[in-house]
């Protein structure tokens, strides 16, 4: 009976470790999105996370919400400086997220200022 319980415990622990390893390392997609950076904030009660939004349309109907990991200090600094500007974001999409990572599955890994296509010349 002890051997059976040991096997069940080992399988359960291995399953939990495998799940968290998958969520931590696996990415679903990666890409680039452009738009006007309309919001970037550090929010949360139990876990403070960096969250932002870009508007990808003229009317603001196409909003892309994203998160930034605390370890990406340069990205956080750049986004703070570029709020209100037109930016190009490189991001990865994860299958799931942890509460201490952010609210969304989209995590920005690089940011670059761009020329807005909506400006009159």
13-32 tens-digit pLDDT = 999 999 989 988 888 999 99
- CA dihedral sign, ordered 16, 18, 23, 24: positive
The answer to whether 37 and 87 are in contact (CB under 8 A) is: yes
Classify strands 49-55 and 27-43 as parallel, antiparallel or unpaired.
antiparallel
Name the fold adopted by 27-113.
OB fold (Dihydrolipoamide Acetyltransferase, E2P) (2.40.50)
pLDDT digits (tens, 9 = 90+) for 61-113: 789 999 999 999 999 999 999 998 999 999 999 998 888 888 899 999 999 99
Domain limits, the chain: 27-113
């Amino acid at each position: 009976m002890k051997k059976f319980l040991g096997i069940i415990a080992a399988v359960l622990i291995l399953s939990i470790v495998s799940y968290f390893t998958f969520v931590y390392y696996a990415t679903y997609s990666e890409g680039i999105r452009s738009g006007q950076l309309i919001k970037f904030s550090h929010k949360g009660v139990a876990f403070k996370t960096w969250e932002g939004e870009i508007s990808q349309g003229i009317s603001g109907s196409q909003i892309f919400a994203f998160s930034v990991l605390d370890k990406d200090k340069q990205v956080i600094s750049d986004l703070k400086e570029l709020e209100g500007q037109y930016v190009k974001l490189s991001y990865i999409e994860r299958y799931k997220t942890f509460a201490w990572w952010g609210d969304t599955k989209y995590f920005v890994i690089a940011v670059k200022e761009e020329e807005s296509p909506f400006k009159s010349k």
